[in-house]
Amino acid sequence: MNEVIEFLTDCGVFFLATVEGDQPKVRPYGFVMDYDGKLCLCTNNKKPSYAQMKANPAVEISASKEGKWIRLKGNAVFCTTPESQAKALEAMPGLAGMYAVGDGLFEIFAIENGVADFCSMAGENHQVIL
Protein backbone atom coordinates (compact mmCIF):
# COMPACT_ATOMS: atom_id res chain seq x y z
CA MET A 1 0.00 0.00 0.00
CA ASN A 2 2.85 2.40 0.73
CA GLU A 3 3.93 2.22 -2.92
CA VAL A 4 0.42 3.27 -4.03
CA ILE A 5 0.20 6.16 -1.56
CA GLU A 6 3.69 7.36 -2.48
CA PHE A 7 2.91 7.31 -6.20
CA LEU A 8 -0.37 9.20 -5.77
CA THR A 9 1.22 11.72 -3.42
CA ASP A 10 4.09 12.32 -5.84
CA CYS A 11 1.63 12.94 -8.68
CA GLY A 12 -0.03 15.72 -6.72
CA VAL A 13 -3.27 15.37 -8.66
CA PHE A 14 -4.92 12.08 -9.52
CA PHE A 15 -8.36 11.25 -10.84
CA LEU A 16 -11.17 9.33 -9.14
CA ALA A 17 -13.98 7.81 -11.19
CA THR A 18 -17.36 7.00 -9.69
CA VAL A 19 -20.53 5.71 -11.33
CA GLU A 20 -23.80 7.59 -11.68
CA GLY A 21 -26.46 5.41 -13.23
CA ASP A 22 -24.62 3.91 -16.19
CA GLN A 23 -22.16 6.78 -16.67
CA PRO A 24 -18.66 7.22 -15.26
CA LYS A 25 -17.94 10.51 -13.51
CA VAL A 26 -14.32 11.59 -13.09
CA ARG A 27 -12.87 14.33 -10.90
CA PRO A 28 -9.43 15.41 -9.65
CA TYR A 29 -8.28 14.58 -6.13
CA GLY A 30 -5.10 15.54 -4.32
CA PHE A 31 -5.35 13.93 -0.90
CA VAL A 32 -4.52 10.37 0.12
CA MET A 33 -3.36 8.90 3.42
CA ASP A 34 -2.79 5.68 5.30
CA TYR A 35 -5.28 5.40 8.13
CA ASP A 36 -5.41 2.22 10.19
CA GLY A 37 -3.61 0.37 7.40
CA LYS A 38 -6.11 1.49 4.75
CA LEU A 39 -5.69 3.80 1.79
CA CYS A 40 -8.05 6.69 2.56
CA LEU A 41 -9.30 9.80 0.78
CA CYS A 42 -11.78 12.48 1.74
CA THR A 43 -14.76 14.27 0.29
CA ASN A 44 -17.67 16.52 1.20
CA ASN A 45 -20.99 14.77 1.80
CA LYS A 46 -22.81 17.47 -0.20
CA LYS A 47 -20.91 16.62 -3.41
CA PRO A 48 -22.36 14.37 -6.11
CA SER A 49 -19.35 12.04 -5.76
CA TYR A 50 -20.41 11.22 -2.18
CA ALA A 51 -23.93 10.26 -3.29
CA GLN A 52 -22.50 8.28 -6.19
CA MET A 53 -20.18 6.27 -3.91
CA LYS A 54 -23.01 5.64 -1.43
CA ALA A 55 -25.22 4.33 -4.26
CA ASN A 56 -22.45 2.33 -5.96
CA PRO A 57 -19.14 1.97 -4.10
CA ALA A 58 -17.16 0.86 -7.18
CA VAL A 59 -14.43 3.42 -7.89
CA GLU A 60 -11.25 3.65 -9.92
CA ILE A 61 -8.28 5.98 -9.53
CA SER A 62 -5.83 6.84 -12.28
CA ALA A 63 -2.64 8.89 -12.20
CA SER A 64 0.53 9.25 -14.23
CA LYS A 65 4.00 10.70 -13.95
CA GLU A 66 7.22 10.39 -15.90
CA GLY A 67 6.01 7.71 -18.33
CA LYS A 68 4.47 5.58 -15.57
CA TRP A 69 0.88 5.28 -14.44
CA ILE A 70 -1.34 3.58 -11.94
CA ARG A 71 -4.87 2.31 -12.21
CA LEU A 72 -6.42 1.43 -8.84
CA LYS A 73 -9.85 -0.15 -8.58
CA GLY A 74 -11.81 -1.04 -5.47
CA ASN A 75 -14.78 -0.13 -3.34
CA ALA A 76 -15.25 3.10 -1.41
CA VAL A 77 -16.15 2.34 2.20
CA PHE A 78 -16.81 5.31 4.45
CA CYS A 79 -14.88 5.30 7.73
CA THR A 80 -15.57 8.81 9.01
CA THR A 81 -14.77 9.28 12.68
CA PRO A 82 -13.38 12.24 14.59
CA GLU A 83 -10.07 10.33 14.68
CA SER A 84 -9.94 9.76 10.91
CA GLN A 85 -10.86 13.40 10.28
CA ALA A 86 -8.13 14.60 12.67
CA LYS A 87 -5.57 12.34 10.98
CA ALA A 88 -6.51 13.78 7.57
CA LEU A 89 -6.14 17.35 8.83
CA GLU A 90 -2.75 16.43 10.31
CA ALA A 91 -1.64 14.77 7.06
CA MET A 92 -2.73 17.73 4.92
CA PRO A 93 -3.19 20.91 6.97
CA GLY A 94 -4.54 22.71 3.90
CA LEU A 95 -7.77 20.76 4.27
CA ALA A 96 -8.53 22.93 7.32
CA GLY A 97 -9.55 25.68 4.90
CA MET A 98 -12.49 23.49 3.85
CA TYR A 99 -13.15 21.09 6.73
CA ALA A 100 -13.06 20.66 10.49
CA VAL A 101 -13.48 17.65 12.73
CA GLY A 102 -17.19 17.09 13.29
CA ASP A 103 -18.32 19.80 10.87
CA GLY A 104 -21.05 17.64 9.35
CA LEU A 105 -19.50 17.81 5.86
CA PHE A 106 -16.08 16.14 6.08
CA GLU A 107 -16.13 12.45 5.06
CA ILE A 108 -13.28 9.96 5.02
CA PHE A 109 -13.43 6.85 2.86
CA ALA A 110 -11.14 3.87 2.38
CA ILE A 111 -10.54 1.86 -0.77
CA GLU A 112 -11.31 -1.76 0.09
CA ASN A 113 -10.64 -4.82 -2.03
CA GLY A 114 -8.25 -2.61 -3.98
CA VAL A 115 -6.08 -3.77 -6.85
CA ALA A 116 -3.46 -1.35 -8.18
CA ASP A 117 -1.90 -1.94 -11.57
CA PHE A 118 1.38 -0.10 -12.12
CA CYS A 119 2.37 0.27 -15.77
CA SER A 120 5.01 2.08 -17.78
CA MET A 121 5.81 3.00 -21.36
CA ALA A 122 8.84 0.70 -21.03
CA GLY A 123 6.54 -2.27 -20.41
CA GLU A 124 7.34 -2.59 -16.71
CA ASN A 125 4.12 -3.74 -15.10
CA HIS A 126 3.22 -5.07 -11.67
CA GLN A 127 0.24 -5.32 -9.41
CA VAL A 128 -0.31 -4.44 -5.74
CA ILE A 129 -3.23 -5.84 -3.78
CA LEU A 130 -4.53 -3.58 -1.00
CA gap 84, 108 in Å, rounded: 7
Please state, rounded to an integer, the average pLDDT across all residues of the chain.
97
Distance CA 55, CA 25 (A): 13
Domain boundaries, the chain: 2-129
pLDDT in tens, 47-105: 999 999 999 999 999 999 999 999 999 999 999 999 999 999 999 999 999 999 999 99
pTM of this prediction? 0.95
* Residue 57 CB coordination number (10 Å): 18
Domain 2-129 indexed as CATH 2.30.110.10: yes
Which is it for the CA torsion 115, 20, 56, 79, positive or negative? positive
